[in-house]
Amino acid sequence: MQPQKSIFLLPLLIGSTAFAQKPNILWITIEDTSPQFVGCYGNKDARTPVIDRLAKEGVRFTNAFSTGTVSSPSRTCIISGVKTYKTGTGNHRSNYPVPSFIKGFPYYLQKEGYFTTNNSKTDYNVADEASFIKEAWNESSNKACWENRKPGQPFFAVYNFMDSHQSRTMTESYDWYMKNVLDKIPVKDRIGDNDFEMPPFYNNSPEMRKQFARVYNSIKLTDNKIGELLSRLEKDHLKDSTIVFFYADHGEGVPRGKTNGINFGYRVPFVIWFPEMYKHLSPWGTGGAVTEELIDFEDLAPTLINLAGGEVPDYLTGRKLIGKNRSKPADHLILSSDRSDNGIDLVRSVTNGKYMYSRNFMPFMPQVRYIRYMEIGEIKQQMRKDLSDNKLNPLQKSLFEDRPAEYLYDIENDIWETKNLANDPVYKPVLEKMRSQLKAEILQSRDILLLPEYEIGLIPSTTTPYEFRMSDTNYPVGEIYEAASLSGFRGKDFAAKQVKLLDHPNKIVRYWAIVGLRSQNSSDLKPFQNIIFKAMDDSYLPVAITASAIAYQEFSNPLASENLKKQSASTNNDLALMAINYLLYVENKQPFIETIKTVHESKGQIYNVKAACMDFLGSLGLVPNNTDFKE
């Protein structure tokens, strides 16, 4: 293979000297990629020479994390600078407003004279997205570029490459992948089915290797396109005046990565390249510098505003990584993972770079829970087939089993997160410290996503979720967290505490009590059968629905069955999704088939409800597994 000519070894070309104090900034964002599959992060099988050169000549971050595990919540934080458990936008593809004072941060760069362009993905997961986009960007389209700025005007340009997206690596058909990815890579550059090491949580079979090779080839195509963009930058005589950021929007878009609140879902590759005239701005050095400094997407907005010379608004609490008044390094980060499409979940995580602690508040669902956009992927179907054929080892099988309440992984020495240390007494001090850090953040930030999405959906009639959470009268987060903190821990003592909370006057406390009971072992629920039956009549429907799911699964209660049928057909999409999501994890699905078919075929249902119906029917072999409505 011929060595690729380095675009960074050519003589410096002098561009406009106007605004010399204002660096141009190029953001290169890619989709669904974990650093484990990029060459500069130690993978000798990867073929990413362009990214690797950026790292060799710039700064590589080993502890960079997305604040979420799926695209739209991740992008809410990127563009707003505010974490989604404050804005209420953690649920993928929701439509909730943010306060008018929260801007897309390029708005502040415009105030400092920058020409701001986005090419071209937005997916910001906020209400009235069109107005939000218009205010943030001078141009936002698939033709947006730095070329239309005024002479000498500094630019902030974003280019987003989709070629490593989950659609390429798993969800589109293999034939589609061959046409749109493999055929666009020179034969000599393709990664074959046996040219890489398989992560241990996947069955190392020819069928799985064929599917997983898609990850490597999709990143290879991405790397090629990044090279073309950087060549364009140099052709326009802008390389010498442009700081380049490269990163992915969250972890790898394959089962157990994207949508899953562990290191494999959060950690991203992240590189900053400084031209000669701006090397003094790097606090880490350049020329292949490597930093273990903890960063996440909350830090991007204040960093860019500070770099542009602007004043960082008070509502932005992330760190300023570069420039004047650089913030002190963080000793831990708080991350979050919530609903993705039809797959409801709530995970909160803490990392210090060495360990990843994840708190699973709804662990009755497995790591690879039902999400239609993943179920249509051939790799997910192969995994389910291997599970059915008993071809998986205990680690591989665990992906389909109920989760524990807590994970604690040593992500320095166990990068694939194969051994949960949460119950190891040696690591008890680490566990307790991270528990404490998580509790402090949930209470201080007043994590609004402790509300069921049904409740969040009611807030915009009067205010925004961000503002609603600030009133203890509206949102007594302390009481709510105390109930939620029990959820996921199993045993008769926890069950007894949760049952007691079913009489609490606060409906959200009762909600978390019953959600916690949904994760309890059958033997620990039997003494409370009648109390659970009574909860089916709770005036708050999320409590009644969850109680019905327990009463049906554990006690085959006929009234519970009727309640679940009724709520599956609710005109409120959040309630319907909640009911159907519970049905995905009951053992006897037969009584609900006709109801779910009717809901699926009815007009006016949103994607998530239809997708949940298709997962339900697909799990019984009643619809083809490769059928989906496009996102």
pLDDT over threshold 70, residue 407: yes
Distance CA 628, CA 631 (A): 9
Give tens-digit pLDDT for 144-201.
Answer: 999 999 999 999 999 999 999 999 999 999 999 999 999 999 999 999 999 999 999 9
- Return the pLDDT at 453: 98
Distance CA 115, CA 154 (A): 6
Strands (E), 481-543: none
Distance CA 430, CA 350 (A): 11
Give tens-digit pLDDT for 64-90.
Answer: 999 999 999 999 999 999 999 999 999
| Residues sharing a CB contact under 8 Å with residue 231, sequence separation 6 or more, in sequence order | 7
Q: In terms of C-beta distances under 8 Å and separation of at least 24 residues, what long-range contacts does 547-550 make, across chains too?
A: 547/514, 548/579, 549/518, 549/579, 549/582, 549/583, 549/586, 550/514, 550/517, 550/518, 550/525
Distance CA 550, CA 520 (A): 10
Q: Are 291 and 62 in contact (CB under 8 A)?
A: yes
- Return the pLDDT at 21: 78
pLDDT over threshold 80, residue 263: yes
Helices (H), 199-348: 206-235, 263-266, 300-307
Q: pLDDT category, 277, cuts 50, 70, 90?
A: very high
Distance CA 65, CA 124 (A): 18
pLDDT over threshold 60, residue 54: yes
Query: Which domains occur in the chain, in start order?
Result: 24-351 (3.40.720.10), 476-631 (1.25.10.10)
Give tens-digit pLDDT for 579-610.
Answer: 999 999 999 999 999 999 999 999 888 999 99
Q: How many helices (H) and strands (E) does the chain have?
A: 26, 14
| Mean pLDDT, the chain, whole residue set | 95
Distance CA 441, CA 334 (A): 7
| Residues sharing a CB contact under 8 Å with residue 38, sequence separation 6 or more, in sequence order | 46, 48, 51, 52, 219, 269
How buried is 630 (Cβ within 10 angstroms: 0-12 exposed, 13-18 middle, 19+ buried)? exposed
Give tens-digit pLDDT for 411-442.
Answer: 999 999 999 999 999 999 999 999 999 999 99
Q: pLDDT category, 627, cuts 50, 70, 90?
A: confident
Give tens-digit pLDDT for 342-389.
Answer: 999 999 999 999 999 999 999 999 999 999 999 999 999 999 999 999
